[in-house]
Structure 1
Amino acid sequence: MTPPKFIFMLTRHDRTVENAVDLVEAAREAGVRHIGFKDIGLPFTGLQTLASVIRGAGAKIYLEVVSLDRDSELRSIQAGIALGVDYLLGGTHVDDALRLLKGTTIRYYPFPGRISGHPSLLEGTETEIIRSAVDLASRPGVHGLDLLAYRFEGNVPDLIRRVCAAVPNKPVIVAGSLDRAARIRATASAGAAGFTVGTALLDGAFPASPDLAQQIGYVQTIIRQF
């Protein structure tokens, strides 16, 4: 089994933190090579600086779009294009996004299912979410899916497993509320290609020193088991 990618999100409660730039060096020293942020929390100039610092650290850049309305989402996608991010995660206005992303090298992973609220929640039945995942994955320009599995009220490991099985040629990243070792292990065991962690690391939720490097090291220890 290939270990899933660990994507460190410089975010708390679905917002990019003000001191995000200051955290990049600690992540780099800990060996993190996938670093992301949200479209909410910092002005564009702040995101420009952040993207430049992440790139300078030798990491891939992930922007996750959590804006709910169409116009805000499209502005965020345009910002992601201008920032030169490597991956665009999330968002629900897929047809509009694909038009904007056409001709870029950005890897696009939209949200399957119905998304509501902030922080984002995943609504619908397993069957509805899987149907949405299959539909999205079939579209040219969609490179994978961003599944808010632990924002779903149901059997989460089963949902991850079924979505991954339904779209075998498109990688699935699990995002949101991976705040304990059991959830990370379940995500990896279910076949996810990657997962994001933000709030839990910044809040010292894992059973290690609250120091960020120690928290990251704990997560890295978990995924080395796969």
Structure 2
Amino acid sequence: MSRPEFIFMLTRHDRTVENAADLIETARVAGVRHIGFKDIGLPFAELQTLASTIRGAGAKTYLEVVSLDRDSELRSIQAGIALGVDYLLGGTHVDEALKLLEGTSIRYYPFPGRISGHPSLLEGTETEIVRSAVDLVGRPGVHGLDLLAYRFVGNVPKLIRQVCAAVSNKPVIVAGSLDRTERIRATASAGAAGFTIGTALLDGAFPALPDLAQQIGYVQTIVRQL
């Protein structure tokens, strides 16, 4: 079992937090090298500052798109391009997104399956989600998948294993509700290349002191033990 990348999201309940920029130094000191945010929660000018600060901390930048209607999603993708992020996660309007992303160096990981609501939920059967995953990674310009596994009602470890096995040539990042140790371990065991955590860290959900540095340290310890 290889160790997945831990991506720290500056978000709570699928929104970028107002004090996101203030949290980056704590993450940098802790050695976090993958930091992301959502397309909603802060105005674009503040997202520009945020992306610049993340790069200044020596980390890769991730923008996760959670806007579900077409126009909002495409605006978010255009914002990601303007911000020069390294990775664009999420989104469901894949063909139109790929047209916008053509010629950029952004790594694109859309959502497989049917996505609804906010915070986002993953709908459909295991078979439908796997079929969607295979379809997506077959398109030039799709570099991997952003799987909302723990927003799925069912056998989540099995779903992750099935998706990872079906798209073994492309990495899968598991996002959403990784708020306990066993979920991180199950995600790694199932073959995911990475996982995101935001709300759980900011809310002190892990069995460590509730300050952010201790919470990040706990997750890093779990990853080192994998």
Q: 1:162 corresponds to which letter in structure 2? A: Q
SS at match of 1:42: coil
Give how far 1:152 is off: 0.1
SS at match of 1:100: helix
SS at match of 2:77: helix
SS at match of 1:224: helix
Does 2:20 align with 1:20?
yes
Does 2:150 align with 1:150?
yes
Q: Quote the RMSD (CA, aligned, Å).
A: 0.4
Q: 1:16-95 maps to which residues of 2 (within 5 A)? A: 16-95=16-95
State the match for 2:138 in structure 1.
138
Q: Deviations over 1:42-90 (max 9, x none)?
A: 0000100000000000000000000010000000000000000000000
Q: 2:186 corresponds to which letter in structure 1? A: A
Q: 1:103-122 maps to which residues of 2 (within 5 A)? A: 103-122=103-122
Give how far 1:2 is off: 2.0
SS at match of 2:225: coil
State the match for 1:102 in structure 2.
102
Q: Runs of at least 4 residues of structure 1 off by over 2 A?
A: none
Task: Point out where structure 1 has 5 or more consecutive residues left out of the alignment.
Answer: none
Normalising by structure 1, we get a TM-score of 1.00
Q: 1:120-199 maps to which residues of 2 (within 5 A)? A: 120-199=120-199
Q: Deviations over 1:177-201 (max 9, x none)?
A: 0000000000000000000000000
Give how far 1:129 is off: 0.1
Give how far 1:112 is off: 0.0
Whole-angstrom CA distance in 2 between matches of 1:168 and 1:160 = 12
State the match for 1:201 in structure 2.
201
Task: Point out where structure 2 has 5 or more consecutive residues left out of the alignment.
Answer: none
Q: 1:207 corresponds to which letter in structure 2? A: P
Normalising by structure 2, we get a TM-score of 1.00
Instruction: Provide the aligned length of Structure 1 versus Structure 2.
Output: 226
Whole-angstrom CA distance in 1 between matches of 2:153 and 2:180 = 17
Whole-angstrom CA distance in 2 between matches of 1:15 and 1:219 = 21
Whole-angstrom CA distance in 2 between matches of 1:225 and 1:189 = 12
Whole-angstrom CA distance in 1 between matches of 2:56 and 2:2 = 27
Whole-angstrom CA distance in 2 between matches of 1:70 and 1:48 = 23
Q: Deviations over 1:106-138 (max 9, x none)?
A: 000000000000000000000000000000010
Whole-angstrom CA distance in 2 between matches of 1:17 and 1:91 = 20
Whole-angstrom CA distance in 2 between matches of 1:2 and 1:58 = 23
Percentage of matched positions with identical amino acids: 88
Q: 2:149 corresponds to which letter in structure 1? A: A
